[in-house]
Amino acid sequence: MSTLSLREAPPERLDFLSISPLSLSGLSQAEAERLEIGTSRKSVKLGDCFSVSLDGSDSLTIEGGHERLDRVGASLSGGTIRVVGDVGQRLGAGMASGTLTVTGNAGPYAGSGATGGTITIEGDAGDYAGGAVYAAKAGLDGATLVIRGRAGAHLGDRMRRGLILAGRAGAHAGSRMIAGTIAALEVGDLPGYGMRRGTLVVGKHGALSPTFVETGSHDLVFLRLLAKQLGSLSEAHAALLAKPLRRYSGDLATIAKGEIWASA
């Protein structure tokens, strides 16, 4: 297992796009320490902030996270990255496969554009987790994003494929969804605002948009299959589907092929 150990707080925001087990596997320690990770005109190299220990494996641990570490795991195409601590914005953005775990909190846009693999945040996530960055066509696009704590507003905004689990989420969860599934124990006001397709499963929710219409309670095979899938990630989320659920169809302001399943 290769290890990067943070020596002190970064002097500026750091870009970890080029840091992955694959990119480090063919480098010597000296070569890795010379990798540029700064985001300003001042040159900041990996070795300036981190103690580097490489073993050529497909597993990387970053010991001592910080909110200034941006795009951690964004280039991950296999293997494992584990961060002990917090990270900044765009965690795992665009990652293709592999496993990415953060023991602390993450900034905004976690998992944006991720097409594969699993991202787990043990703490909280900022706004637009699994959502689309400015001018992007879609947010989460096939990966699995698990947020054990609280997610901010606009969870899964313009999500196109994949699965998002969150403990709690702010307002506008699932806004402008194109497709995919979001499950949360609690969400704020206006979940599914402007969604076209997709599925939201929620325990508690705030005010619903008037452009959603109730279609009654249903016992569908789809819900049992979804519960089985969620059970492998979180028993609490799977338990949501064991209770009577009420279905709301919408958003009628769009093509109205989305759905919200809420506890009856």
Kindly report, residue by residue over 70-88, the tens digit of the pLDDT: 999 998 999 999 999 999 9
pTM: 0.95
The Cα–Cα gap between 93 and 17 comes to 9
Asked if residues 169 and 186 have their Cβ atoms less than 8 Å apart, the reply is yes
Tens-binned pLDDT, residue by residue, of the chain (264 aa): 899 999 989 999 999 999 999 999 989 999 999 999 999 998 999 999 999 999 989 999 999 999 999 999 998 999 999 999 999 999 999 999 999 999 999 999 999 999 999 999 999 999 999 999 998 999 999 999 999 999 999 999 999 999 999 999 999 999 999 999 999 999 999 999 999 999 999 999 999 999 999 999 888 888 899 999 999 999 999 999 988 899 999 999 999 999 999 987
Provide the residue ranges of all domains of the chain, joining segments of one domain with +: 1-61, 71-263
Residue 188 pLDDT: 97
> 238: left (phi > 0), else alpha (psi -120 to 50), else beta?
alpha
User: On the CB side of 192, how many CA atoms lie within 13 Å of its CA?
Assistant: 38
Residue 23 pLDDT: 92
Residue 219 pLDDT: 82
Q: For residue 257, give the nearest of 201, 203, 157, 178 by alpha carbon.
A: 178
Cis peptide before 251 (omega within 30 of 0): yes
**How many C-beta neighbours within 10 Å does residue 35 have?**
17
